[in-house]
Amino acid sequence: MEKKELKPRLLRKGLWKPEEDLILKKYVETHGEGNWATVSQKSGLMRGGKSCRLRWKNYLRPNIKRGRMSDEEKDLIIRLHKLLGNRWSLIAGRLPGRTDNEVKNFWNTHLNKKGSRAKPTNINRNNKNKLHQLPPSHPIDGESLANTSGGPEVDGREEDITFTSPRVEAAKSFNYGPKSPLLPTNDASFFYDDETFIPILDSFVLFGTYGSNGEGP
DNA sequence: AAACACGTCAACCGCTTGCTG
DNA sequence: CCAGCAAGCGGTTGACGTGTT
């Protein structure tokens, strides 16, 4: 598949330059998302389609929220990870403005080290100890769970976020948007019983993933 | 001030999934 | 039904920044 992109053309790798960002952004604005494989030809970018897609999705897309995770986001990630495991895209889909890559990185750097690892994966990196050896037992440290009530509302950052991703739209149409029990609400009583939710969420997630509005098979 | 260790995060890679002809 | 392709996903890598000695 994408092996085609590896054909011995002079595809650039590594960090994106601002001018490359600009080109990609303009390209997507005029042509829309999709057809990533042809982006390099059409835009003149010496980047693979995969690279372009990732760059757009993670950084150039509108409504991307950068910066530190709020306590609520952190808490939500912990909880969702407990329920969903390493399904970063699903988790990110419930954090408006956050990308799966960001959530994944955040988990691996900030949360993972605290002693949480729902599914111990092959973390035998022999060089640096980036992934920390963790007791597989309890994925969540009690401290984070304790402050579930949400506290003050994410300093108003949520308000200008618009849901534009197809997945989020699908989720919304499935009544799965900000009113979802998995997302904090305005009343500071955001709380649910994880265990109770697991079976529900499982089918929920499946449904949401495949879509209930014609998105699925 | 320099060298080293560690943490963070952007980007790549390989695999899987879904769509189309 | 099957093959080929595009897109998506999660794991991993490596560059860079920052802290420590």
DSSP chain A: -GGGGGSSS----SSPPHHHHHHHHHHHHHH-S--GGGHHHHH---S-HHHHHHHIIIIISTT---SPPPHHHHHHHHHHHHHH-S-HHHHHHTSTT--HHHHHHHIIIIIGGGT--SS------SSS--SPP--SS-SS-HHHHHTTT--S-GGGGGGG----SHHHHHHHHTT-STTSTTS--SSS-----HHHHHHHHHHHHHHHHH-SSS---
- CB of A96 closer than 8 Å to CB of A160: no
Distance A92 CA to C7 C1' (A): 18
Chain C: nucleotides below 7 Å from protein CB are 5-16
Distance A186 CA to B17 C1' (A): 37
Distance A193 CA to C2 C1' (A): 46
Query: Would you say the C-beta of A1 is within 7 Å of strand C?
Result: yes
pLDDT in the model for residue A7 = 43
Nucleotide closest in space to A108 (CA vs C1'): B8
Q: Which tens digits make up the pLDDT trace of A56-83?
A: 988 888 888 888 888 888 888 888 888 8
Distance A66 CA to B15 C1' (A): 29
Q: Say how many C-beta atoms besides its own lie within 10 A of residue A217's C-beta.
A: 5
Distance A57 CA to B7 C1' (A): 24
Q: How far is CA A43 from CA A58, A60, A211, in A?
A: 19, 16, 32
For A12-60, CATH gives: 1.10.10.60
Q: Which tens digits make up the pLDDT trace of A170-216?
A: 333 333 333 343 444 333 333 444 444 544 554 444 444 333 333 33
Strand C interface, A 168-197, C-beta < 7 A: none
On the question of pLDDT at A5 being above 60, the answer is no
Query: Would you say the C-beta of A126 is within 7 Å of strand C?
Result: no
List every span in chain A annotated with CATH 1.10.10.60: 12-60
Instruction: Give the separation between CA A38 and CA A51, rounded to whole angstroms.
Output: 12
On the question of pLDDT at A103 being above 70, the answer is yes
pLDDT in the model for residue A201 = 53
pLDDT in the model for residue A95 = 87
Query: Would you say the C-beta of A58 is within 7 Å of strand C?
Result: no
pLDDT in the model for residue A29 = 85
